[in-house]
Protein backbone atom coordinates (compact mmCIF):
# COMPACT_ATOMS: atom_id res chain seq x y z
CA UNK A 1 0.00 0.00 0.00
CA UNK A 2 2.81 2.38 0.93
CA UNK A 3 4.50 1.54 -2.37
CA UNK A 4 1.33 2.48 -4.25
CA UNK A 5 1.14 5.75 -2.35
CA UNK A 6 4.78 6.49 -3.13
CA UNK A 7 4.25 5.69 -6.82
CA UNK A 8 1.11 7.89 -6.91
CA UNK A 9 2.99 10.73 -5.22
CA UNK A 10 5.89 10.33 -7.63
CA UNK A 11 3.54 10.32 -10.65
CA UNK A 12 1.70 13.39 -9.34
CA UNK A 13 4.98 15.24 -8.81
CA UNK A 14 6.10 14.27 -12.30
CA UNK A 15 2.82 15.47 -13.80
CA UNK A 16 3.14 18.79 -11.99
CA UNK A 17 6.72 19.16 -13.20
CA UNK A 18 5.73 18.38 -16.81
CA UNK A 19 2.80 20.82 -16.68
CA UNK A 20 5.10 23.51 -15.31
CA UNK A 21 7.55 22.89 -18.13
CA UNK A 22 4.93 23.18 -20.86
CA UNK A 23 4.92 26.53 -22.64
CA UNK A 24 2.03 28.85 -21.78
CA UNK A 25 -0.03 29.62 -24.87
CA UNK A 26 0.37 33.33 -25.35
CA UNK A 27 -2.50 35.59 -26.31
CA UNK A 28 -2.44 36.60 -29.98
CA UNK A 29 -0.63 39.87 -30.61
CA UNK A 30 -1.63 40.65 -34.21
CA UNK A 31 -5.38 40.16 -34.61
CA UNK A 32 -7.39 40.94 -37.73
CA UNK A 33 -11.19 40.92 -37.76
CA UNK A 34 -12.97 40.70 -41.12
CA UNK A 35 -16.59 40.53 -40.01
CA UNK A 36 -18.78 43.45 -38.90
CA UNK A 37 -20.06 41.67 -35.80
CA UNK A 38 -16.72 40.28 -34.65
CA UNK A 39 -15.24 43.74 -35.30
CA UNK A 40 -17.41 45.17 -32.55
CA UNK A 41 -16.71 42.52 -29.93
CA UNK A 42 -13.00 42.59 -30.74
CA UNK A 43 -12.89 46.38 -30.31
CA UNK A 44 -14.70 46.05 -26.97
CA UNK A 45 -12.29 43.45 -25.61
CA UNK A 46 -8.88 43.72 -27.30
CA UNK A 47 -5.87 44.99 -25.38
CA UNK A 48 -4.21 48.19 -26.64
CA UNK A 49 -2.28 47.39 -29.81
CA UNK A 50 -3.60 43.82 -30.04
CA UNK A 51 -6.20 44.43 -32.76
CA UNK A 52 -4.64 45.57 -36.05
CA UNK A 53 -7.51 45.74 -38.48
CA UNK A 54 -11.29 45.61 -38.74
CA UNK A 55 -13.55 45.31 -41.75
CA UNK A 56 -14.22 48.43 -43.78
CA UNK A 57 -17.91 48.05 -42.87
CA UNK A 58 -17.02 48.79 -39.25
CA UNK A 59 -16.12 52.35 -40.26
CA UNK A 60 -19.47 52.99 -42.02
CA UNK A 61 -21.73 54.94 -39.62
CA UNK A 62 -24.82 53.64 -41.45
CA UNK A 63 -23.92 50.07 -40.55
CA UNK A 64 -21.71 50.23 -37.49
CA UNK A 65 -22.57 51.64 -34.06
CA UNK A 66 -18.81 51.77 -33.37
CA UNK A 67 -17.74 53.65 -36.51
CA UNK A 68 -15.85 56.27 -34.50
CA UNK A 69 -13.88 53.63 -32.62
CA UNK A 70 -13.21 51.70 -35.84
CA UNK A 71 -11.54 54.75 -37.39
CA UNK A 72 -8.50 54.00 -35.20
CA UNK A 73 -7.84 50.70 -37.03
CA UNK A 74 -6.64 49.79 -40.50
CA UNK A 75 -9.71 48.79 -42.57
CA UNK A 76 -9.73 45.60 -44.62
CA UNK A 77 -11.98 44.48 -47.45
CA UNK A 78 -11.84 40.80 -46.56
CA UNK A 79 -9.34 39.72 -49.21
CA UNK A 80 -6.94 36.96 -48.20
CA UNK A 81 -3.98 38.67 -49.87
CA UNK A 82 -4.26 41.92 -47.94
CA UNK A 83 -4.87 40.13 -44.66
CA UNK A 84 -1.87 37.84 -45.14
CA UNK A 85 0.40 40.87 -45.65
CA UNK A 86 -0.62 42.15 -42.20
CA UNK A 87 1.12 39.07 -40.70
CA UNK A 88 -1.70 38.25 -38.26
CA UNK A 89 -1.45 35.46 -35.72
CA UNK A 90 -5.26 35.32 -35.47
CA UNK A 91 -7.97 36.14 -38.01
CA UNK A 92 -11.58 36.34 -36.85
CA UNK A 93 -14.01 35.85 -39.71
CA UNK A 94 -17.69 34.94 -39.92
CA UNK A 95 -19.89 32.02 -40.84
CA UNK A 96 -20.65 33.62 -44.20
CA UNK A 97 -17.10 34.62 -45.11
CA UNK A 98 -16.28 33.09 -48.54
CA UNK A 99 -14.86 29.59 -47.94
CA UNK A 100 -12.11 30.16 -50.52
CA UNK A 101 -10.79 33.08 -48.46
CA UNK A 102 -10.77 31.07 -45.26
CA UNK A 103 -9.14 28.10 -46.97
CA UNK A 104 -6.36 30.24 -48.43
CA UNK A 105 -5.56 31.87 -45.09
CA UNK A 106 -5.43 28.50 -43.35
CA UNK A 107 -3.20 27.04 -46.07
CA UNK A 108 -0.86 29.95 -45.44
CA UNK A 109 -0.58 28.83 -41.82
CA UNK A 110 -2.79 31.50 -40.25
CA UNK A 111 -5.15 30.64 -37.44
CA UNK A 112 -8.73 31.48 -38.46
CA UNK A 113 -11.78 31.41 -36.22
CA UNK A 114 -15.37 31.76 -37.45
CA UNK A 115 -17.78 32.49 -34.57
CA UNK A 116 -21.44 32.01 -35.54
CA UNK A 117 -23.87 34.93 -35.53
CA UNK A 118 -25.68 35.41 -32.22
CA UNK A 119 -29.45 35.15 -32.64
CA UNK A 120 -30.50 35.56 -29.01
CA UNK A 121 -29.21 36.97 -25.74
CA UNK A 122 -27.75 33.68 -24.50
CA UNK A 123 -25.78 33.44 -27.73
CA UNK A 124 -24.48 36.99 -27.17
CA UNK A 125 -23.22 35.88 -23.75
CA UNK A 126 -21.54 32.89 -25.37
CA UNK A 127 -19.85 35.05 -27.99
CA UNK A 128 -18.57 37.54 -25.41
CA UNK A 129 -16.97 34.65 -23.54
CA UNK A 130 -15.62 33.14 -26.77
CA UNK A 131 -14.05 36.43 -27.89
CA UNK A 132 -12.46 36.90 -24.49
CA UNK A 133 -10.94 33.44 -24.73
CA UNK A 134 -9.69 33.98 -28.30
CA UNK A 135 -7.98 37.22 -27.33
CA UNK A 136 -6.70 36.02 -23.97
CA UNK A 137 -8.90 38.65 -22.33
CA UNK A 138 -11.07 36.47 -20.13
CA UNK A 139 -11.29 38.96 -17.27
CA UNK A 140 -12.37 41.73 -19.62
CA UNK A 141 -15.00 39.39 -21.07
CA UNK A 142 -16.38 38.71 -17.60
CA UNK A 143 -16.63 42.45 -16.93
CA UNK A 144 -18.32 43.06 -20.29
CA UNK A 145 -20.75 40.22 -19.65
CA UNK A 146 -21.70 41.67 -16.28
CA UNK A 147 -22.30 45.09 -17.81
CA UNK A 148 -24.39 43.56 -20.59
CA UNK A 149 -26.58 41.64 -18.16
CA UNK A 150 -27.14 44.75 -16.03
CA UNK A 151 -27.96 46.89 -19.06
CA UNK A 152 -30.26 44.22 -20.50
CA UNK A 153 -32.16 43.95 -17.22
CA UNK A 154 -32.61 47.72 -17.15
CA UNK A 155 -33.79 47.86 -20.78
CA UNK A 156 -36.22 44.91 -20.68
CA UNK A 157 -39.91 45.79 -20.37
CA UNK A 158 -42.88 43.75 -19.07
CA UNK A 159 -44.56 41.59 -21.70
CA UNK A 160 -47.81 43.54 -21.76
CA UNK A 161 -47.35 46.15 -24.48
CA UNK A 162 -49.41 44.46 -27.16
CA UNK A 163 -48.58 42.94 -30.54
CA UNK A 164 -45.94 44.22 -32.92
CA UNK A 165 -44.78 43.53 -36.45
CA UNK A 166 -41.26 43.70 -37.82
CA UNK A 167 -41.19 44.56 -41.52
CA UNK A 168 -38.29 45.23 -43.83
CA UNK A 169 -37.32 45.50 -47.50
CA UNK A 170 -38.86 42.94 -49.88
CA UNK A 171 -41.61 42.29 -47.34
CA UNK A 172 -39.52 40.27 -44.92
CA UNK A 173 -40.32 39.83 -41.25
CA UNK A 174 -38.27 38.37 -38.40
CA UNK A 175 -39.65 35.55 -36.30
CA UNK A 176 -39.21 34.55 -32.70
CA UNK A 177 -35.90 32.69 -33.25
CA UNK A 178 -34.04 35.71 -34.60
CA UNK A 179 -32.10 38.47 -32.92
CA UNK A 180 -34.71 41.03 -34.00
CA UNK A 181 -37.42 38.81 -32.54
CA UNK A 182 -35.54 38.62 -29.23
CA UNK A 183 -35.23 42.41 -29.18
CA UNK A 184 -38.96 42.81 -29.82
CA UNK A 185 -39.80 40.38 -27.02
CA UNK A 186 -37.46 42.16 -24.59
CA UNK A 187 -39.22 45.42 -25.44
CA UNK A 188 -42.45 43.86 -24.17
CA UNK A 189 -44.20 42.94 -27.42
CA UNK A 190 -45.67 39.76 -28.85
CA UNK A 191 -44.42 39.14 -32.38
CA UNK A 192 -47.19 38.70 -34.97
CA UNK A 193 -44.85 36.44 -36.95
CA UNK A 194 -45.79 33.71 -34.49
CA UNK A 195 -49.41 33.96 -35.72
CA UNK A 196 -48.23 32.65 -39.08
CA UNK A 197 -45.76 30.08 -37.81
CA UNK A 198 -42.73 32.18 -38.77
CA UNK A 199 -39.77 31.54 -36.47
CA UNK A 200 -36.89 32.78 -38.65
CA UNK A 201 -36.57 35.50 -41.29
CA UNK A 202 -39.14 34.99 -44.01
CA UNK A 203 -41.45 36.83 -46.35
CA UNK A 204 -44.77 38.05 -44.99
CA UNK A 205 -47.39 39.22 -47.52
CA UNK A 206 -48.50 42.77 -46.84
CA UNK A 207 -52.13 41.62 -46.76
CA UNK A 208 -51.44 39.28 -43.84
CA UNK A 209 -49.62 41.99 -41.93
CA UNK A 210 -52.55 44.39 -42.32
CA UNK A 211 -55.05 41.69 -41.31
CA UNK A 212 -53.02 40.97 -38.16
CA UNK A 213 -53.78 44.49 -36.90
CA UNK A 214 -50.57 44.97 -34.86
CA UNK A 215 -50.37 47.64 -32.18
CA UNK A 216 -46.94 48.68 -33.39
CA UNK A 217 -45.13 48.46 -36.72
CA UNK A 218 -41.32 48.46 -36.67
CA UNK A 219 -39.39 49.10 -39.89
CA UNK A 220 -35.83 50.06 -40.75
CA UNK A 221 -34.72 53.37 -42.18
CA UNK A 222 -34.56 53.72 -45.95
CA UNK A 223 -31.18 53.85 -47.65
CA UNK A 224 -30.34 56.63 -50.10
CA UNK A 225 -31.38 55.95 -53.68
CA UNK A 226 -34.36 54.28 -55.28
CA UNK A 227 -34.31 50.67 -54.17
CA UNK A 228 -37.31 48.72 -55.43
CA UNK A 229 -36.95 46.36 -52.47
CA UNK A 230 -37.77 49.24 -50.13
CA UNK A 231 -40.78 50.46 -52.12
CA UNK A 232 -43.13 48.26 -50.10
CA UNK A 233 -42.24 50.25 -46.97
CA UNK A 234 -43.95 53.28 -48.54
CA UNK A 235 -47.15 51.44 -49.47
CA UNK A 236 -50.29 53.31 -48.30
CA UNK A 237 -51.71 50.16 -46.72
CA UNK A 238 -48.60 49.81 -44.58
CA UNK A 239 -48.91 53.41 -43.43
CA UNK A 240 -52.32 52.58 -41.92
CA UNK A 241 -51.44 49.11 -40.65
CA UNK A 242 -50.75 50.05 -37.03
CA UNK A 243 -51.51 52.99 -34.71
CA UNK A 244 -47.83 53.27 -33.72
CA UNK A 245 -45.14 53.19 -36.41
CA UNK A 246 -41.43 53.26 -35.60
CA UNK A 247 -38.46 53.48 -37.93
CA UNK A 248 -35.35 52.18 -36.24
CA UNK A 249 -31.67 52.37 -37.10
CA UNK A 250 -30.59 48.99 -38.46
CA UNK A 251 -27.06 49.28 -37.05
CA UNK A 252 -28.24 48.39 -33.52
CA UNK A 253 -30.23 45.36 -34.74
CA UNK A 254 -27.74 43.67 -37.07
CA UNK A 255 -25.16 42.15 -34.74
CA UNK A 256 -25.48 40.17 -31.55
CA UNK A 257 -23.40 42.36 -29.25
CA UNK A 258 -24.09 44.20 -25.98
CA UNK A 259 -25.25 47.16 -28.09
CA UNK A 260 -28.60 45.43 -28.77
CA UNK A 261 -29.86 47.07 -25.58
CA UNK A 262 -29.97 50.31 -27.60
CA UNK A 263 -32.31 48.58 -30.05
CA UNK A 264 -34.58 47.58 -27.17
CA UNK A 265 -34.65 51.15 -25.87
CA UNK A 266 -35.51 52.45 -29.33
CA UNK A 267 -38.94 50.85 -28.84
CA UNK A 268 -39.74 52.66 -25.59
Q: For 236-254, how does the pLDDT look when each residue is reduced to its tens digit (9 = 90+)?
A: 999 889 999 999 988 999 9
In this structure, are 35 and 143 located in the same domain?
A: yes
In this structure, are 130 and 191 located in the same domain?
A: no
pLDDT recorded at residue 226 = 66
Last residue of a domain, one of 96, 121, 152: 152
Total number of domains in the chain:
2
Is residue 254 situated within a structural domain? yes
Closest CA to 259 of 131, 136, 121: 121
CATH of the domain at 118: 3.40.50.1980
Name residues whose C-beta falls within 8 Å of residue 180's C-beta, 6 or more positions apart in sequence.
Answer: 166, 174, 253
In this structure, are 123 and 89 located in the same domain?
A: yes
| Mean per-residue pLDDT, 143-164 | 97
DSSP-assigned states of every residue in 90-140: EEE--TTS-HHHHHHHHHTT--EE-PPPP-SHHHHHHHHHHHHHHHT-HHH
Alpha-carbon gap, residue 87 to 82, rounded angstroms: 9
Last residue of a domain, one of 117, 152, 187: 152
pTM, entire model: 0.87
Q: Which residues span the domain enclosing 35?
A: 31-152
Is residue 25 situated within a structural domain? no
| Mean per-residue pLDDT, 157-169 | 95
Amino acid sequence: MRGCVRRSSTMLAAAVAIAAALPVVAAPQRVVSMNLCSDQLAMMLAAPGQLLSVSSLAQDPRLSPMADEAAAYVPNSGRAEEIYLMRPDLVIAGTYTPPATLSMLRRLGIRVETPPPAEDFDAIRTEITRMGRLLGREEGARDLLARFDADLAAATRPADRGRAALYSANGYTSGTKTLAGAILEAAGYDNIAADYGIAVTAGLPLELLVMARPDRLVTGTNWPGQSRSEAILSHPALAAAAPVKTRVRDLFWTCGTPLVTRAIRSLE
